[in-house]
Amino acid sequence: MRSTTPTKDNMTEGDTEGPESFETLVSDFRFQLVTYGRSIDPRGAEDAAQDAFEALRKRQQRPPPVENPRGYLVRIVQRAQRRPTRLARFFPPPAEVIDHYRDPDVAKALARLPERQRDCLALRYGQDQKLTDIADLLGITEGSVKQHIARGLATLRNRLETQDA
């Protein structure tokens, strides 16, 4: 995977390499986007990623250009994946989520975290993203990312210790 991040300069319609840049973004970021979507809800993650890329393609055809295409894609997948699962958060997670983690207690505890904490933990530890990249993707400050990770880890630690006791 390439590590270059598309910018508004290489993603604008007037750019002769616009379609190639978009194709590069799709090939470089699709797997991460689908994986992230699955961390929210394993069902429909691929469709949500595809819809996000289609929305970005349409959005790039009108000014002003999207300054952070990866963050734009992540936000679309977040919204698409959370819509059908708002009420489902109050029920045990699907078996597919539990199977993804080695310990089902960890999967259950993760599913009960607030969305922003779960997002930060999934990006940091599930995808090995840097704090600055997570901040850019989620549209928050790096300090907020650190705070969400610290609080999420503390909550997980507390819940898992309580279960063991």
DSSP string, 67-97: S-HHHHHHHHHHHHHHGGGTTGGGSPPPHHH
Is there a single domain that holds both residue 154 and residue 107? yes
Is there a single domain that holds both residue 119 and residue 38? no
Is there a single domain that holds both residue 163 and residue 152? yes
Boundary of a domain, candidates 33, 64, 91: 91
**63 in Cβ contact with 20 (< 8 Å):** no
Query: Which DSSP state fits 1?
Result: -
Distance between CA atoms of residues 157 and 118, nearest Å: 14
Q: What is the pLDDT along the chain (165 residues), one digit of tens a residue?
A: 444 433 333 333 333 344 458 889 999 999 999 988 888 877 778 888 988 999 899 888 888 888 889 999 998 888 887 764 443 443 334 344 334 556 777 878 888 899 889 888 888 877 778 898 888 888 889 999 999 999 999 998 898 888 766
Is there a single domain that holds both residue 107 and residue 129? yes
Per-residue pLDDT, 122: 81
Report field, pTM of the whole predicted structure over 0.75: no
Count the neighbouring beta carbons within 10 Å of the beta carbon of residue 69: 24
Instruction: Supply the CATH number for residue 117's domain.
Output: 1.10.10.10
Is there a single domain that holds both residue 105 and residue 85? no
Per-residue pLDDT, 56: 92
Is there a single domain that holds both residue 86 and residue 7? yes
Is there a single domain that holds both residue 82 and residue 119? no
Is there a single domain that holds both residue 100 and residue 145? yes
Per-residue pLDDT, 161: 85
Boundary of a domain, candidates 36, 69, 91: 91
By residue range, what is the domain housing residue 27?
1-91
Boundary of a domain, candidates 43, 73, 91: 91
Is there a single domain that holds both residue 63 and residue 131? no
Is there a single domain that holds both residue 87 and residue 99? no
Give the contacts of 98 (CB within 8 A, at least 6 positions apart): 104, 107, 108
Per-residue pLDDT, 8: 33
